[in-house]
Structure 1
């Protein structure tokens, strides 16, 4: 089975408020609860929160001094207006990046991840929250009216596919799991309770997933042939006197 290319010719505008997303208030609360323990462990000087949905999250305090919101929309919470594919940040300038439900609406998600990896320092943290394409709420896309509504109008990527992209960027994944089991509707409460019970056994049917990754840098130090020979051949004075031989 061949996967569709991640790049698409026409970009889809990302939602600017949680109330634009189906069951948005409940999803926002779930995301805040899941991210809280990871945000509290962050440290450093600069934290970038990408996207309008991320800017509206009420995140707990952490040791990072400077927080900034980055996005491509004209809203008050957005402090740095920039394209995610061409960030104005220098290389190794950020200590942590948080992006919630934004990658699904980007035109070139590969480039977005490359820009974030470039801007992170060594051992910097990247926290991603994405919509799960295997979630049970995807059955709502069978109705043509739902296709053009948030969040179903975005391009979903599976968790395994995101993990593969991160591995190419030398990102070590430390946390990954599904959460927020829901059909994203309020008309039939019995469906919501059924999905919640099913997710206890099959978490892959949940609506969202979270990935926490750390940027790793492995320095390459070339070793000359002469240095290798010196390590293999013992020096005469380091060999015990009883074991020394003369030619």
Structure 2
């Protein structure tokens, strides 16, 4: 029980990217990524615009292949790991982007391994235009995958070095930042395994979990929209008299003049 509550030193996302990408290149990582790609494609199906920012572990060109947004770029502070598409060099807590400059932001497990997840989410929300989307993927702390990470931290490297945040807390953060949560989807309801006998059971459990919207999957995908702040003008209580173009007196004078002439 001592290992359960011990606080271990954590590295930032930039330092963990090479090992995390190596894990996602494996068999279990590709299986998990395929399940996530299906849910992310469903979230990006109705997202339109010009620019999309991405921070994550998987290759952005592969994960955002079906996106309708034309321009994609990755935010990464250094070149420690491959970023695939166009890259913007800046810190995770201070983006080199103007306010309301992108149409969508996709965060693929960025909050799970970032040392300052609230600051990262704040910067992502700042750069999205009103009506834009934030789509983020995270590991569920209330799942069997997280239990294995806590019980066997050395065997579950590098996933055990993350700090998994619940979907409910992420929704609270988004609402404080002025976002409305559109949808929350879960996947991987059983721990990933390479045994063919358990893969069929895992597919059935995933189908039932998505059908009944059970919040017990290994990961979640949250889609949120930035609400547009509409200013309602205040009307004065007094009534301003309207100006009349033609009055009865003016018409009467003109008629009299014509009669005299």
TM range (shorter): 0.7 to 0.9
Paired position in structure 2 for 1:118: 126
Counterpart pick for 2:98 among 69, 76, 90: 90
Closer, same or farther: CA 228–165 of 1 in aligned 2, 3 Å: farther
Q: CA deviation at 1:58?
A: 3.6
* 1:201-216 alignment, distance < 5 Å: 203-216=214-227
Which secondary structure does the structure 2 equivalent of 1:104 belong to?
helix
State yes or no: 1:176 paired with 2:176.
no
Task: Pick the aligned partner of 1:136 from 140, 144, 149.
Answer: 144
Q: Which residue of 1 aligns with 2:70?
A: 65
Name the stretch that deviates more: 21-30 or 124-133: 21-30
What RMSD in Å do the two structures reach over aligned CA positions?
Answer: 2.8
Q: Larger Rg: 1 or 2?
A: 2
- Structure 1 position 127 matched with structure 2 position 135: yes
Q: Which runs of 5+ in 1 are unaligned?
A: 1-7, 236-247
SS at match of 2:64: coil
Question: Does 2:43 align with 1:34?
Answer: no
Cα distance in 1 for residues equivalent to 2:38 and 2:178: 28
What whole-Å deviation, never above 9, does each CA across 1:46-101 have from its counterpart, x for those lacking one? Answer: 11111242525343344422111112341352611222210000001001111111
Contact kept? 1:15, 1:150, Cα under 8 Å: no
Report if aligned partners of 1:126, 1:214 keep a CA contact under 8 Å in 2: yes
Which residue number corresponds to residue 53 of structure 1? 58
Deviation at residue 34 of structure 1 after TM alignment? 1.3
| Residue 139 of structure 1: how far off its partner (Å) | 2.6
The 3 A distance-change label for structure 1 pair 121 and 54 is farther
Aligned to 1:146: 155
- Report the equivalent of 1:109: 117
Distance 1:214 1:9, change over 3 A: farther
Judging changes above 3 Å, is the alpha-carbon distance between structure 1 residues 162 and 54 closer, same or farther for their aligned structure 2 residues? farther
Listed one character per residue, the Cα deviations across residues 116-143 of structure 1 (whole Å, up to 9, x for unaligned) are 1110111011101110001112231212
Query: Structure 2 vs 1, CA of residues 129 and 185 (structure 1 numbering), >3 Å: closer, same or farther?
Result: same
How far apart, CA to CA, are the structure 1 residues paired with 2:196 and 2:146? 16
Residues 138/80 of structure 1: CA separation in 2 closer, same or farther (3 Å cut): same
Q: After the TM superposition, which parts of structure 1 deviate over 6 Å for at least 4 consecutive aligned residues?
A: none
Determine the C-alpha separation between the residues in 2 that align with 1:139 and 1:188: 22
